Structure 1
Amino acid sequence: MTKTWFIGLAIALACAQTHAQLRIGQPSGFSGSVAAGVKENTDGAKLYFDAVNARGGVNGQPIELISVDDKFDPKLTVELGRELITKRGVLALFLNRGTPHAQALMPLLAEHKVPLVAPSTGAMVLHEPVNPWIFNVRATYQREAARAIEHLASIGQNRIAILETDDSFGADGAAGAMQGFAKVKLEPVLRQKTPREKPDFSAVAAEIAKLQAQAVMVIASAGNTANAVHALRAAGSRAQVVTLSNNASEGFIKLLGEHARGVIVTQVFPNERSVSFPLIKEAQDLAKAKGLDGVSPAMMEGFAAAKVLTEGLRRAGPNPTPQKLRDALEGLSRYDLGGLTVSYSATNHTGLDFADLSIVDANGRFRR
């Protein structure tokens, strides 16, 4: 009896250790000004992971996503990231939100040789120079911002203001906007930095109204961007508002309330209702099977990220390590996500370069 009990215990422990190999850590802002988008990102990732696990997992092992709230604080991101790596034994960090947050994780990734897959930020610093431990699954903010400025100029909106969060995210997006301005030979009528925490937009909104700006690009979190829009409308400005894909969530539209209609949001994935893309159809079908109405752009970011990570895990073999996963991801070449192709190499960790524009319609939905 005793021998049988020990054999059973050994088998159980072996199984537990094998399953633990596919732990993935996600320190991200589940509370605070980015919570709505983070939740939708995560819902999209879980949609794919759940489907994979229902089919037996990867190489017979389930994927366990461990999500923890960093309260959108870069210092806490690092603390939680370290705990996930050293105490929870995660193979990778995944889908964290925020440019300063991803930058803060860089030394940790190098120290422990653990990859960060699909950070939910388009900061150029994560793309160039190539970081051997970071694998992006989305276009850069600079590409989005430049395209948006070029679009505004093409429809005759030449008096454009920029409101940028006073951090590395804001500076990065504004750099892209300035590239767009240079291409169309314009200058912003106003470029203003705003605090990252609890900014008061009333004064700058009044100035924008006085300048009769035709459009305003707001580079900020969902909560702060929504507050900026409310302040602009209260100041009497009817300027076209444009923001970046970090705000491509249904939660952001809800924060805008009565001022949602007409806001332009850049996108880094195809139309979430365009089932001509196999990737979109796959996500839509899985969502409907769970009783959901559909998927949002933010959910598609998480879904695509999960698909790339899963393929990396599959190629890393039955006994993956962080190093094996890193090497497997870097070996991905022309991997078909479903109408979009992902490629990595030693000199390129961007993955995807898709960028588009959407506008919020009268029904509170993104339209292309």
Structure 2
Amino acid sequence: MSVIFFFFTASYKSMEKNSIILGASLPLTGINSHLGKDVVVGANTYFSHTNARGGVQGKKIEFIQYDDKYEPENTFSNTIKLITKDDVFALFGFVGTPTVKRVMPLIAESNIPFIAPYTGASFLRTKDTPNIINFRSSYTEELDALVEYLTKQKNISRFAIFYQNDDYGEEGYIALSNALSKRNLTLSAEGTYKRNTLSIRHAIHEIETAKPEAIILVGSYKPTARFIEKVKEQIPSKMIFCPISFVNADALMGELHGKGDNILFSQTVPSYDDFYSKEATEYLKNLAFYYPEEKPSLVSYEAYLAAKTVVTALKAINGIITPSKFLDKLKHIAPQTLDNIPLVYHNAQLLNQVYLSNYVNGKFEIIQKYEY
């Protein structure tokens, strides 16, 4: 029996169920576990809120997750299980570029919706896979925003990059190189580390001799934190560290014990502690109710907003809920669905903003916003 047959069988069966089953493969153990757990907490906060109010057309939303430890082969086997064993209606909330890339052949050849992966990878933003709908802005946009701000506002011209030596790091490296090239600049230095390790020593050696003014950080939170700490110890100059959103800013600040000096963060959603935002206030209230032991984070806030968008699209469907109707409603969702966070389906994604922030007095303060 072919994989394609499995896909269509799963989609057909899921329509007949009393629940709407969504499935994810993400890191729930290992050095990236904080990221996967935050996605689950944020998404389940809104799904629980929805289920408590009757669900969608009387159906509860069930969110199944499997741990892949941020390893692509685990993601592949988990995805097969979600489709063939669990009969998921859609795949939602996968985490990571190398992990998602491993399952692209399955996704591309199927009609199963693949929604809101936590990655800004360019290969997810093409016209070739209409069943993929990203929620977040791309790494290309994040890197462009960082370079635009640093060159225009800080007059910086010497850039280095610290990145994960895999598909994720390569995406960041290419995006940064292109952003610099647009402004007639080139990289001064680069250093890499191996995925799921803390082996950063060689990267520091490669970068420190170039004396960059800013270092773009395309990694996960634990190795990124160790890198920042070591560089600050060895190089006293006031260079700016610039982690992109995948780093998981809240987890990074936890690792750095709240020491956010000289760090410029890139975010794909506004800060969750904006009390002028209806969405932020709702998120904090529901998180405290459903997960009283969990602290708010940008990652869980983004997953919450993505889940709310999914539910809004499902509720807009008339008659039988099908994958094709669901995808259509997502692509034509009302721009003001999330209050002051505009949604516009463009470039296979719904969010098209990048927010740059500093960490001050325990909060992420937005200092610049860019629209794409």
Q: TM-score range by the shorter chain?
A: 0.7 to 0.9
Question: Where does residue 327 of structure 2 map in the other structure?
Answer: 326
Question: Where does residue 263 of structure 1 map in the other structure?
Answer: 263
Query: Aligned partner of 1:357: which letter?
Result: L
Task: Trace 1:200-349 onto structure 2 (pairs within 5 A).
Answer: 200-238=199-237, 239-257=239-257, 260-290=260-290, 291=292, 295-317=296-318, 319-334=320-335, 336-344=337-345, 348-349=347-348
What is the SS of the residue equivalent to 1:147? helix
Query: Please, which of 123, 130, 133 is the counterpart of residue 131 of structure 2?
Result: 133
What is the SS of the residue equivalent to 1:308? helix
Instruction: Determine the C-alpha separation between the residues in 1 that align with 2:63 and 2:78.
Output: 14
What is the SS of the residue equivalent to 2:135? coil
Query: Please, which of 122, 125, 130 is the counterpart of residue 124 of structure 1?
Result: 122
Query: Aligned partner of 1:242: which letter?
Result: C
Cα distance, 1:324 vs structure 2: 3.6
**Does the aligned pair in 1 maintain the 2:27–2:35 contact within 8 Å?**
no
Instruction: Determine the C-alpha separation between the residues in 1 that align with 2:328 and 2:140.
Output: 28
- 1:196 pairs with 2:195: yes
**Does the aligned pair in 2 maintain the 1:205–1:235 contact within 8 Å?**
no
- 1:113 pairs with 2:111: yes
Output one character per residue of 1:104-136: Cα deviation in whole Å (capped at 9) or x when no partner.
222222444211110001111111245211111
Output one character per residue of 1:47-86: Cα deviation in whole Å (capped at 9) or x when no partner.
1111111111111111111111011011111111111111
**Does the aligned pair in 2 maintain the 1:284–1:294 contact within 8 Å?**
no
Change (3 A) 1:312 1:158: same
Larger Rg: 1
348-357 vs 151-160, which deviates more? 151-160
Cα distance, 1:364 vs structure 2: 4.5
Q: How many residues matched?
A: 349
**Structure 2 unaligned spans of 5+:** 1-14, 367-372
Query: Aligned partner of 2:210: which letter?
Result: L
**Structure 1 unaligned spans of 5+:** 1-15
Query: Aligned partner of 2:278: which letter?
Result: P
Change (3 A) 1:286 1:59: same
**Does the aligned pair in 1 maintain the 2:96–2:119 contact within 8 Å?**
yes
**Does the aligned pair in 2 maintain the 1:145–1:174 contact within 8 Å?**
no
**Does the aligned pair in 2 maintain the 1:37–1:249 contact within 8 Å?**
no
Output one character per residue of 1:251-298: Cα deviation in whole Å (capped at 9) or x when no partner.
221123375443222001112111323222221232344546863211
Question: Where does residue 166 of structure 1 map in the other structure?
Answer: 165
Cα distance, 1:237 vs structure 2: 4.7
Comparing both structures, which one devotes a greater share of its residues to helix? 1
User: TM-score scaled to structure 1, two decimals?
Assistant: 0.87
Instruction: Determine the C-alpha separation between the residues in 2 that align with 1:234 and 1:197.
Output: 23
**Does the aligned pair in 1 maintain the 2:22–2:64 contact within 8 Å?**
yes
Instruction: Determine the C-alpha separation between the residues in 2 that align with 1:24 and 1:152.
Output: 40
Question: Where does residue 5 of structure 1 map in the other structure?
Answer: none
Instruction: Determine the C-alpha separation between the residues in 2 that align with 1:83 and 1:144.
Output: 33
Name the Cα RMSD after superposition. Answer: 2.4
Question: Where does residue 8 of structure 2 map in the other structure?
Answer: none
Query: Aligned partner of 2:331: which letter?
Result: E
User: TM-score scaled to structure 2, two decimals?
Assistant: 0.86
User: % of aligned pairs identical?
Assistant: 27
36-45 vs 172-181, which deviates more? 172-181
Instruction: Determine the C-alpha separation between the residues in 2 that align with 1:204 and 1:110.
Output: 35
